Structure 1
Amino acid sequence: MAPILIDSPDIITLLGGGEVNAARLKDALNRAPRLVAADGGADVALEKGLMPEAVIGDFDSLSDVTKASLPPEVLHHVAEQDSTDFEKVLQRVRAPLLLAVGFLGRRLDHQLAALTALVTHVHQPCLLLGADDIAFAAPPDLALDLPPGSRLSLYPLASVTGHSEGLEWPIDGLSFSPSTRIGTSNRVTGPVRLRFDQPGMVVITPPEALGALLAGFAARPAAPAR
């Protein structure tokens, strides 16, 4: 098991080296001023005048200039190549929630890898904030107060069944899997309650849902220590 490098009672902003939407980054930092960078996300941080408290990754995308500019104690080099830099962070940071910017957009393969990491490391709750979407791994039980008419998509990365309240097209009795049935473009009709039998479901909402998502995750019981 990877050692915990950051153990925070507060939510944390995580910055990656992909497409960074300025509005989403501002939203994240307003709610979670503590900043951790995944590898080349440190370059983005310094370009924007931000100082991460930790940089975690294999450093294959971290520039020499940025590396030399940061205090040695901030740099946490993880040499293994069997996981992405995003996974390296999820394995080594413990916080109530991560708000991750710089992981959606640009390369599709990077986005798919990030979604897979969400459900593989569901023990660490994380919201991926992009220009047009927020994506996260569904916990076993989540209540959300979203405006009626809001888009709420469900995309399974494993075989999953569940129960829903407050959706125009209920999911009860449906068996989801990435190759047979997905649940994109559903709509909210009232207070939402989602329950799933196991990890594997990715939930996708508009970025305007951030406040409701923060409230929903905050209301959940604390995750057991790992």
Structure 2
Amino acid sequence: MNQSIVSSTAPITLIGGADPAADVLTVALKWGKTVACADGGANHALWAELNPVAVIGDMDSISDAARDAYSDVLHPITEQDSTDFDKALRHINAPLILGVGFSGARLDHELGSMTVLVRHPDRRCILIGGDTITLLCPPKITLDLPMGSAVSLYPMADVGCDSAGLRWPTTGLRFAPDSRVGTLNKVDGMVTLRPDAPKMLLILPRAALDVTIAALLQDDARWPVRA
């Protein structure tokens, strides 16, 4: 078990090093008023005149100005076997983490961030991009979304997912990244998803953020710490 650097009973905004879309940070701060940064995310926090409670990472991307401004909340983790997002996520204890600056830049970085979501299934985290949000689907989630809006399920390993309210039902199907994926589905009613393992990414339009946050905070069903 990783020792917490940041603990909160309310959602937290975690800022990464990729330049977030113009209003993404504002949207995240509406829900997560406490701010933490993963390494170079401190540069964006400084520009936005924010006061993070912690800057976590190997400190190879933080500017000198941000290093000086946040010197009293730096938490260097020098190992190079994980990304700064991984280092930050595993040391934050909160009901929900809203990640900005982890998507929409280099594809390899974005894929790495999605891998971290699966690596730490006990950490509830939504990555907010310019157009979409991405999260590890919890054991159960119910979403009241507009009819016809997009719902994509992307498996990171072999996984099944019972569903209701999707135009193309997924119950009884097996998914895997090298065979069947569940992208480009649509809402056909009240959506309920029940994956059978912490291996399914849920990708929704960014307009679904408030509904998704409310659903996660209302139902505390979550995956256990990965063995």
TM-score tier, shorter chain, comes to: over 0.9
Q: Report how far residue 87 of structure 1 moved.
A: 0.5
Within 5 A, what are the aligned runs for 1:39-188? 39-72=39-72, 74-188=73-187
What is the alpha-carbon distance in structure 1 between the residues aligned to residue 108 and residue 224 of structure 2?
31
**Paired residue type of 1:200:** K
What is the alpha-carbon distance in structure 2 between the residues aligned to residue 193 and residue 224 of structure 1?
17
Cα contact 2:14–2:98 (8 A) shared by 1: yes
1:142-191 Cα deviation digits (max 9, x unpaired): 11111111100011111000100000000011110000010111000111
Q: Secondary structure at the match of 1:18?
A: coil
Match in the other structure for 2:31: 31
Match in the other structure for 1:208: 207
What is the alpha-carbon distance in structure 1 between the residues aligned to residue 30 and residue 211 of structure 2?
15
Residue identity (%): 46
- Please report the TM-score for the alignment, with normalisation by the length of structure 2: 0.96
Q: Secondary structure at the match of 1:22?
A: coil
What is the alpha-carbon distance in structure 2 between the residues aligned to residue 67 and residue 201 of structure 1?
37
Cα contact 1:144–1:215 (8 A) shared by 2: no
Do residues 11 (structure 1) and 6 (structure 2) align? no
**Paired residue type of 1:128:** L
What is the alpha-carbon distance in structure 2 between the residues aligned to residue 212 and residue 169 of structure 1?
21
Cα contact 2:138–2:223 (8 A) shared by 1: no
Cα contact 2:139–2:221 (8 A) shared by 1: no
Cα contact 2:19–2:44 (8 A) shared by 1: no
1:15-58 Cα deviation digits (max 9, x unpaired): 01103012121111011110000000001110121121110000
Cα contact 2:121–2:223 (8 A) shared by 1: no
**Paired residue type of 2:84:** D
Q: Secondary structure at the match of 2:184?
A: strand
**Paired residue type of 2:32:** A
Cα contact 1:35–1:53 (8 A) shared by 2: yes
What is the alpha-carbon distance in structure 1 between the residues aligned to residue 173 and residue 221 of structure 2?
29
Give the superposed CA RMSD.
1.4
Cα contact 1:13–1:32 (8 A) shared by 2: yes
What is the alpha-carbon distance in structure 2 between the residues aligned to residue 193 and residue 12 of structure 1?
25
Q: What is the count of residue pairs matched by the alignment?
A: 225
Q: Report how far residue 220 of structure 1 moved.
A: 1.3
What is the alpha-carbon distance in structure 2 between the residues aligned to residue 47 and residue 23 of structure 1?
14
Q: Report how far residue 140 of structure 1 moved.
A: 1.0
Q: Secondary structure at the match of 1:99?
A: strand
What is the alpha-carbon distance in structure 2 between the residues aligned to residue 135 and residue 187 of structure 1?
16
What is the alpha-carbon distance in structure 1 between the residues aligned to residue 103 and residue 6 of structure 2?
23
**Paired residue type of 1:65:** A
